[in-house]
Amino acid sequence: MLPEAQRDYIDVVLVSPRNPLNIGAAARAMANFGFRRLSVVAPYAPPWREARSAVGAPELLASAAETETLAEAVAECTLVAGTGTLTYRKPEQPVVPLPGLGPLVERELASGGRVALVFGSEKHGLTRDDLSYCHLLVEIPTDSRQPSMNLGQAVAVCLYELVSRAFEPASSAPDEKPLAFAVGVGQTSSQLERNFAASSHAAPSRTLDRLAGVVEETMIAAGYSPSTMQATNRHDLRLLLRRLAPTERDTRRILGLFRRILWRLKRFPKGR
């Protein structure tokens, strides 16, 4: 088992789950492996805290956080890993095979960060918008003839893989395999690990979202693109900032820069 102090820095996040029994099964899997931090985002069925499938984990369900948005659920996390298969996806973030997740989590926890494992709804998994809040996509290997997996089982598989591989010796780490980017740039697993471990003070998700908001406001003030492109720009900004993985200090400096630019644009609007 991972030390309790480290397990408390790993959040399991369920986005728009539809069946309370699946939420209970996920809670039971968490209890099996000693995890306690569960967040449920916009659940479909209100009485999910009473799920009978949460055998041995009623306290975990009772103490779970409920939020309206994924952004709220992962606000304090410095590494957000979405989960799913690539069968029907064209990912826009780095893709990590499930066995390669452990070393990334290890380095993030060692640097004082917080990790979120995000699971989508039973109906369609994580949406493209959901994934824009994720630093990477963890691929759960499944047979192409049946790519979808029950929510509770997916949580169990990922947590088992994490506790069994997260702190193996470096010699048993996954081989150097390229990780796919939507832009066509490849990185090895070790290179990606170093990127996330480069700073001991990575910016949490809430800080990246605050920066994205100011950058978007500056773009609008500068007439960067038509209003019809605002949603696309917002999505792309979230992805870009997570791909860059700036430190908290760097994020504050960039935030100050864009606030100054925005102030100037508002004080001296175009044409004056």
Could you read off the pLDDT of 101-153 as tens digits, one per residue?
999 998 999 889 999 999 999 888 899 999 999 999 999 888 878 878 899 99
> pLDDT band at residue 185, thresholds of 50, 70 and 90?
very low
Residues 240 and 245: their CA atoms lie apart, in Å, by 9
> pLDDT band at residue 173, thresholds of 50, 70 and 90?
very low
On the question of pLDDT at 184 being above 50, the answer is no
Could you read off the pLDDT of 243-253 as tens digits, one per residue?
999 999 999 99
* Residue/partner pairs of 73-76 with CB below 8 Å, 24 or more apart: 73/11, 73/13, 73/15, 73/39, 73/41, 73/116, 73/118, 74/11, 74/13, 74/116, 74/118, 74/133, 74/205, 75/204, 75/205, 75/206, 75/209, 76/114, 76/204, 76/205, 76/206
Q: What is the pTM of this model?
A: 0.83
Give the DSSP per-residue string, 120-170: -BTTTBS-HHHHTT-SEEEE----TTS----HHHHHHHHHHHHHHHTT--G
Task: Answer yes or no: CATH 3.40.50.1240 is held by domain 4-197.
Answer: no
> pLDDT band at residue 257, thresholds of 50, 70 and 90?
very high
On the question of pLDDT at 226 being above 90, the answer is no
Q: Where are the domains of the chain?
A: 4-197, 205-267
